[in-house]
């Protein structure tokens, strides 16, 4: 079987080129500048865990028997 045009790609070469193009596109989109965290020191130290009724119920229901 002869190729119609001047360029002939086999099945394996086609998928190899397709994969290389996808990888190059992914690397280009991941190359962004890193941005530092914008929280102040007070915001970093604030209490985040709140023991609400839902949390108490979760721990009460999921206790292991002794």
Q: What is the pLDDT of residue 12?
A: 78
Q: What is the pLDDT of residue 18?
A: 76
> If residue 54 lies in a helix (H) or strand (E), which one and from where to where?
helix 53-61
Q: pTM for this structure?
A: 0.30
Mean pLDDT throughout 5-16?
A: 72
Per-domain residue ranges of the chain: 39-66
- Cβ(9)–Cβ(17) below 8 Å: yes
Mean pLDDT throughout 46-50?
A: 86
- Cβ(51)–Cβ(60) below 8 Å: no
Place 54 in a pLDDT band, splitting at 50, 70 and 90: very high
Contacts of 17 (CB under 8 A, 6+ apart): 9
């Amino acid at each position: 079987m002869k190729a119609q045009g001047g360029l002939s790609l086999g099945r394996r070469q086609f998928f190899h080129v397709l994969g290389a193009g996808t990888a190059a596109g992914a690397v280009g989109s991941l190359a962004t500048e890193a941005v530092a965290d914008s929280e102040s020191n007070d915001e970093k130290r604030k209490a985040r865990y709140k023991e609400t009724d839902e949390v108490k119920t979760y721990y009460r229901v999921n206790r292991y028997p002794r």
